[in-house]
């Protein structure tokens, strides 16, 4: 778990806008270790989504660099968003194979990979269903399968559960953390939900308001098999982590504007 699969080295980002420059990211550095889930928690507007866009290469940083220790150009990073962005006219299986198709894989081979994921992660029998007939939680399951299908080294999760109801969200947090571990992926999770970060992450980075810096890095030492919703909420360590991150976010430079 100790080799970094991705390093963010002194990333800074300044946008030029009509009303003047916006310093979004001040100076952010971190390593994502192999097999780890790293959560980024920070106030609204501190540049979390911008950081993801820099990691995927959609944006070039103003300062610093991202280094990914993988040699499979273009297959390094998978992205899962709050909105599932499933294509409504495609069936579940044809949504899962989307990334593989784009990469030129033969349809039969792509469908075999998708079928394995669908069976392993609880949507067997729904292969031919349209997304509109599924619940929000099921749609997000399809979205994570689509992200995993092309076997990215790093998975970016941008508030993937925030549009779901509490119960569905709680179940999916555990499921997705388990799926990422089973598939031996490394992941970065953006979330506003401190409880979600503690439930899913091995490590949490707390960011300040913009221009953001890392205020704190916290290892979550609760074993994964003790992270079910009931055990967690009665674990004193959960409360200690929660309070400590909450207090970090009340710091003057981290207060939500």
Ligand X SMILES: Nc1ncnc2c1ncn2[C@@H]1O[C@H](COP(=O)(O)OP(=O)(O)OP(=O)(O)O)[C@@H](O)[C@H]1O
Q: Whole-number minimum distance, CB 59 to ligand X, in Å?
A: 8
Residues 192-231 that bind ligand X (CB under 6 A): 210
Residue 32 as a binder of ligand X (CB under 6 A): the answer is no
Q: Which stretch binds ligand X (CB under 6 A): 3-11, 38-46, 107-115, 219-227?
A: 38-46
Q: Which stretch binds ligand X (CB under 6 A): 46-54, 60-68, 91-99, 126-134?
A: 46-54
According to CB under 6 A, which one of 5, 24, 113, 201 is a site residue for ligand X? 24
Residue 32: strand pairing partners: 6
According to CB under 6 A, which one of 11, 41, 48, 204 is a site residue for ligand X? 48
Residue closer to ligand X by CB (options 23, 101) is 23
Residue 82 as a binder of ligand X (CB under 6 A): the answer is no
According to CB under 6 A, which one of 12, 31, 32, 50 is a site residue for ligand X? 50
Q: Whole-number minimum distance, CB 40 to ligand X, in Å?
A: 9
Residue 46 as a binder of ligand X (CB under 6 A): the answer is yes
Q: Which stretch binds ligand X (CB under 6 A): 40-48, 105-113, 148-156, 160-168?
A: 40-48
Both tokens assigned to 230: 């009931």
Residue 17 as a binder of ligand X (CB under 6 A): the answer is yes
Residues 122-151 that bind ligand X (CB under 6 A): none
Residue closer to ligand X by CB (options 49, 56) is 49
Residue closer to ligand X by CB (options 38, 117) is 38
Q: Whole-number minimum distance, CB 22 to ligand X, in Å?
A: 4
Both tokens assigned to 175: 């499921």
* Distances 148 to 15, 43, 155, 181, 204 between C-alpha atoms, Å: 32, 29, 8, 12, 23
SS3 per residue for the chain: CCCEEEEEEEEEEEEEECCEEEEEEEEEEEEEECCCEEEEECCCCCCHHHHHHHHHCCCCCCEEEEEECCCCCCCCEEEEECCCCCCCCCCHHHHHCHHHHHCCCCHHHHHHHHHHHHHHCCCCCCCCCCHHHCCHHHHHHHHHHHHHHCCCCEEEEECCCCCCCHHHHHHHHHHHHHHHHHCCCEEEEECCCHHHHHHHCCEEEEECCCCEEEEEEEECCCCHHHCCHHHHHCCHHHHHHHHHHHHHHCCHHHCCC
Q: Whole-number minimum distance, CB 81 to ligand X, in Å?
A: 11
> Which residues sit at the interface with ligand X, rule CB under 6 A?
15, 17, 22, 24, 44-50, 210
């Amino acid at each position: 778990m100790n080799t970094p699969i991705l390093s963010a080295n002194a990333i800074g980002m300044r946008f030029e806008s009509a009303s003047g420059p916006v310093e979004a990211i001040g100076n952010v550095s971190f390593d994502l270790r192999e097999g780890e889930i790293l959560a980024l928690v920070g106030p609204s507007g501190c540049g979390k989504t911008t950081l993801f866009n820099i990691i995927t290469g959609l944006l070039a940083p103003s300062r610093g660099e991202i280094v990914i220790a993988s040699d499979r150009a273009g297959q390094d990073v998978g992205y899962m968003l709050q909105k599932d962005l499933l294509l409504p006219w495609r069936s579940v299986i044809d949504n899962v194979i989307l990334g593989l198709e784009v990469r030129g894989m033969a349809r039969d081979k792509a469908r075999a990979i998708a079928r394995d994921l669908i069976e392993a992660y609880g949507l067997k029998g729904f292969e031919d269903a349209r997304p509109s007939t599924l619940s929000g939680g099921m749609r997000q399951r399809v979205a994570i399968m689509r992200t995993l299908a092309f076997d990215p080294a790093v998975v970016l999760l941008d508030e993937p559960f925030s549009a779901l109801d509490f119960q569905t969200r709680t179940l999916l947090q555990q499921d997705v953390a388990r799926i990422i571990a089973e598939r031996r992926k490394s992941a970065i999770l953006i979330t506003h939900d401190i409880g979600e970060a503690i439930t899913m992450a091995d490590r949490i980075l707390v960011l300040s308001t913009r221009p953001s810096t890392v205020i704190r890095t916290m290892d979550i030492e609760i074993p994964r098999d003790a992270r079910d919703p009931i055990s967690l909420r009665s674990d004193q360590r959960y409360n200690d982590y929660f309070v400590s991150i909450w207090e970090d976010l009340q710091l003057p430079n981290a207060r939500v504007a």
